[in-house]
Structure formats: C-alpha cells, structure tokens
Amino acid sequence: MDLWVRMRGVKTQAEKAESFRALHQRDRAFIIPNPWDAGSARLLELAGFEALATTSAGFAFSVARRDNAIGRERMLAHVAEVVAATDLPVSADLENGFGDDPEACAETIRQGAAAGLAGGSIEDSTDQAEQSIYDIEHAADRVRAAAEAARACGFPFTLTARCENFLIGRRDLADTIRRLQRYQEAGADVLYAPGLSTREEVEAVVRAVDRPVNVIMPGVPATIDELSAIGVRRISVGSLLARAAYGALLDAARELRERGTFDFAAKAVSYRDLSTKF
C-alpha cells in the first residue's frame, strides 16, 4: 500500500507528520489556517498553505451546534473527512480531549492518529461553570498522558498543549506561563495560550518556554514579520475563516430579504471556478 501511495505522489501519514514537525523548526513563523469542512480544506490547500488545523467552533457552526457541543466520535469523523480531502498535514482542535481524566486525552490522541492526523491540541478548559479550568497538576497529567500516546504512534505526532486562561476571563499571565511550562515538562511539542493581546504578552511566553509557540490572529497588533522576530513559530486563525464565510452569507441573506437585490453575486466565486477545484 505504501508503494502504491508513493507512486500516486500522495504523502504517507508519517511523511506528513515529519513535514509538519519540520515547519515548527524554521526561523520564520508559518500560517496554519483553519478549515471547517472538507471543501474549505481543499481550497486552502490550493491557496498554497503548507498545513491545516481544524476548528472545533467552525465545524460546530456548520452543523448548527455551539462550540464544545460535539462529541468525540462525531468530531473525529469530521477530522477524518478533512484529512481525506487534502494532502497537507492536518492538526486537529481536540478541545479538552473529550474527557476529564488523563486516559480520555490519551485515547483521543490515539483515535486522532488513527484518523490520519499529523498533530492535535489538548486544552485545559473544563467547560464546567463550577470549575472552568483544571487544577494545574491535573492538567499537566492530562498533557503527559496525551504525550505518551503521541509518542506511541510510530511517527512524530505533534502535540499542542493549550492554556485557556485568557479565553475564560482569567488574564493572569504569570499563571498562564506556569501552566505552559508544566505542559512543556509533561511532553507537549507546541505551546499555545489563545487570547494573548499584546506583543509584550507574546514575548513573555516565548521567552519562558523552549518549545514552538502558536499565536492566534488577529488579536495581537503585530505583523507576521514582527511575530517571527519575537520568536513565534506558528500562527492560526481559529474560527475566523468560518465566521468570515458565514458573515458573507448573512450579508447576502439580508440583502435578499430586506432589499430584494442581488448585488452580493458580484463577490461570489463562479460555479465553474469552484467546480474545477473539487
């Protein structure tokens, strides 16, 4: 099978994983855009990007659900569809590992690898009102279990550990850095604290760890060159592309409903053009 795959010019999962890991070692940050379905994944590949990352929110919106309302089985089926649609390495937003205990995180990584992923992220948010974020030691244990599962994959699965402090309203940079350092010690390959909003915050995180750091944009008033100079190695956009697409849909719907005009058609991709891409 591997020989047949190579003859077609399609990369094996191991090759994708190796190329994905190598992207994080370059001196300049790379952009990893976030498709929300198989079609958007294919278009982003054709646009010239080098890797993709799924968005849990973008996918949830596409099936009329809120973020964090999708179970593991359905999410991994979605992930497999994205992987199958592109020859690029794909990393997945695996939320909090779909379970509180470390073994749940490990199993999610194993199933993600089986679905064809080159990497995935585990976050420390609980999505529970009474405790919005896991205790730091328990959170580190969860990352450790995920890292052990990633190391057992047989290829360099890139594990990203996320600290959600800023997203849940805890703008505590010192605690965020402590958590990222513990996740680094637990075996994470990439570190990520979504919600950072200043270059100073990003610089503090990059200086405090020795693993590649992902930053979500927009949010920090900086260019790619400036983020690269700070030491950022990966830039994602989360659900932004999905929200931009839905924004265009809502604008067109309002025009149809309120004005009865069709000016939005001027900005639409042609049927012929899209048909040649799938």
Q: What is the pLDDT of residues 189-239, one digit of tens each?
A: 999 999 999 999 999 999 999 999 999 999 999 999 999 999 999 999 999
CA within 13 Å, CB half, 62: 20
Enter the tokens of residue 200. 């100073």
Q: What is the percent of the chain with per-residue pLDDT over 70, rounded to a whole number?
A: 97
How many CA atoms lie within 13 Å of 94's alpha carbon, on the beta-carbon side?
34
Nearest to 132 by CA among 74, 91, 175: 175
Eight-state DSSP code of residue 189 = S
Q: pLDDT tens across 78-126, in order?
A: 999 999 999 999 999 999 999 999 999 999 999 999 999 999 999 999 9
Banded pLDDT at 9 (limits 50, 70, 90): low
Give dist(CA 241, CA 258) in Å, integer.
26
Radius of gyration of the chain from its Cα atoms, rounded to whole angstroms: 19
Give the Cα separation of 235 and 217 in Å (integer): 7
pLDDT tens for each residue of 115-138: 999 999 999 999 787 789 999 999
Q: What are phi and psi of 37, to 5 degrees?
A: -160, 180
Question: Above 90 in pLDDT, residue 4?
Answer: no
Poorest-pLDDT segment among 127-136, 144-153, 169-178, 221-230 = 127-136
Q: Which residue ranges does the chain devote to CATH 3.20.20.60? A: 2-238
Q: Which of 176, 162, 183, 168 is closest to 204 using CA atoms?
A: 176
CATH topology of domain 2-238: TIM Barrel (3.20.20)
Which pairing describes strands 125-128 and 131-133: parallel, antiparallel, or unpaired?
A: antiparallel
Q: Quote the distance between the C-alpha of residue 143 and its chain's center.
A: 16
Bin 169: left if φ > 0, else alpha if -120 < ψ < 50, else beta. Answer: left
